[in-house]
Amino acid sequence: ATGGPIVTDLLLCGKPNLPPNAFPVNLQCCPPMPASEPVNFKLPDPSEPLRTRRPAHVAGAEYMAKYERAIALMKALPRSDPRSFYQQANIHCAYCTGAYRQVGHPELAVQVHYSWLFFPFHRAYVYFFERIAGKLLGDPGFALPFWSWDVPEGMRMPMAFVNSSSPLYDPLRNTRHAPPKLVDLDFMGAEKNYTDEQQIIHNLRIMYKQMISSAPLASLFLGQPFRAGDSDKPGPGSVEMYPHNTLHVWSGDISRPNTEDMGDNYSAGRDPLFYAHHANVDRIWEAWRHINNNTFHVDFKDPDWLNSSFLFYDEEARLVRITVHDILDIEKLRYAYHGVSLPWLNARP
Ligand code: C2O
């Protein structure tokens, strides 16, 4: 029988299916085994400070310096620590390369891309990442910066990531796309040679298309249903294809075989830019739900979606099982977005 939620089990994590010329060649990306069974996720205490995520281009030096320190602290942890940067990056590899097999269907992969798992999985991933960072910093209000590539002022790789002596730097990027180069939200590998003004208009139209014209329903925005017993990658939502995927490839080093780091799933989490990119993807999900007067912008109610679950280590290094229904209310998760508007709302082509 098929159907039911996709459930992740650490015992069903094994060899990743890596692209040719991936490195290191013997990469294993399953997390360390826990001392005991996973615990079920509990929402944070409502009295916790609200973590207000700010756009990287206006957050200010002090705010970005905190993110820098957090990444340095994660990189300094031993690789065996599930909160280390090494293990955090591997989470993406494990969920995106078929390392996890489906409970009850070991011949089938768990895959969090190209389906309705895309937004909830990445929300949970970034949520734990942020809390681990806050814990290491001793700052319970720590919030991630987001890369607001959908507003004109945010349409460059944020400066804080480009300084080669910063922990936020990654040498495996496309050097042609360093600032002041503007992002190209539907980048397919060829440079467009637009003027900045043309590129901004183009990008805003892409946003309008992906958020409004192409995404009137949950399945079109969030992605196609993916249930236990289904083959992976049934179909992505509009924004997952672009700007999400396209910006991965836009950021990665095209001289590498798989556009590492950002341009391939197995390596994307190795770039600190990934977490700022995904904070914005997550913000865009919130924006989609709140687009005015569109009563169709509501999430799935399907129990197979709501009960799908993932495993993460939390800031105390405890293994936690989190389900999609746990993470639908960001206020209850004690974070918020601040600092940018939605200029593409009026950019109907
Ligand atoms: Cu799991 Cu940005 O991809």
Nearest CA to ligand 1 atom 3: 265
- Where residue 202 sits, what CATH number does that domain have? 1.10.1280.10
Q: Is residue 11 a part of any domain in this protein?
A: no
Decide if 317 contacts 326 (C-beta within 8 A): no
Whole-number Å distance, alpha carbon 1 to ligand 1 midpoint, is 30
pLDDT at 294: 63
Nearest-atom index, ligand 1, CA of 248: 2
Average pLDDT over residues 104-129: 97
Percent of the chain beyond pLDDT 70?
A: 99
Nearest-atom index, ligand 1, CA of 277: 2
**Mean pLDDT, rounded, of the chain:** 96
Question: What band does 349 get if pLDDT is binned at 50, 70 and 90?
Answer: confident
Average pLDDT over residues 262-287: 98
Question: What band does 137 get if pLDDT is binned at 50, 70 and 90?
Answer: very high
Whole-number Å distance, alpha carbon 112 to ligand 1 midpoint, is 8
Structural domain containing residue 256: 32-346
pLDDT in tens, 30-82: 999 998 899 999 999 999 999 999 999 999 999 999 999 999 999 999 999 99
Q: Is residue 239 a part of any domain in this protein?
A: yes
pLDDT at 339: 84
Residue 293: pLDDT over 70: no
Average pLDDT over residues 179-188: 97
Q: Is residue 2 a part of any domain in this protein?
A: no
Instruction: State whether the beta carbon of 96 lies less than 6 angstroms from ligand 1.
Output: yes
Q: Is residue 278 a part of any domain in this protein?
A: yes
- Would residue 244 be called left, alpha or beta, if left means φ above 0 and alpha means ψ between -120 and 50 degrees? alpha
Decide if 83 contacts 127 (C-beta within 8 A): no
pLDDT at 213: 94
Instruction: State whether the beta carbon of 244 lies less than 6 angstroms from ligand 1.
Output: yes
Q: Residues with Cβ < 8 Å from 35, sequence gap 6 or more?
A: none
Question: What band does 292 get if pLDDT is binned at 50, 70 and 90?
Answer: low
Q: Is residue 234 a part of any domain in this protein?
A: yes
Residue 295: pLDDT over 80: no
Percent of the chain beyond pLDDT 90?
A: 95
For residues 188 and 235, what is the distance between their CA atoms, to the nearest angstrom? 19
Taking CA atoms, 175 is separated from 160, 162, 182, 252, in Å, by 15, 10, 13, 9
Q: Is residue 113 a part of any domain in this protein?
A: yes
Query: Global pTM?
Result: 0.98
pLDDT at 296: 80
Whole-number Å distance, alpha carbon 116 to ligand 1 midpoint, is 13
Q: What is the ipTM of this complex?
A: 0.99
List the binding residues for Cu cation: 92, 113, 122, 244, 248, 278
Question: What band does 334 get if pLDDT is binned at 50, 70 and 90?
Answer: very high
Pick the closest to residue 160 from 309, 276, 287 (CA basis).
276
Domain count for the chain, please give it: 1
Average pLDDT over residues 26-31: 96
Average pLDDT over residues 308-332: 98
Q: Is residue 287 a part of any domain in this protein?
A: yes
Nearest-atom index, ligand 1, CA of 92: 1
Average pLDDT over residues 70-99: 98
Q: Is residue 155 a part of any domain in this protein?
A: yes
Residue 335: pLDDT over 60: yes
In the numeric block, the tokens 């280590």 are attached to 313
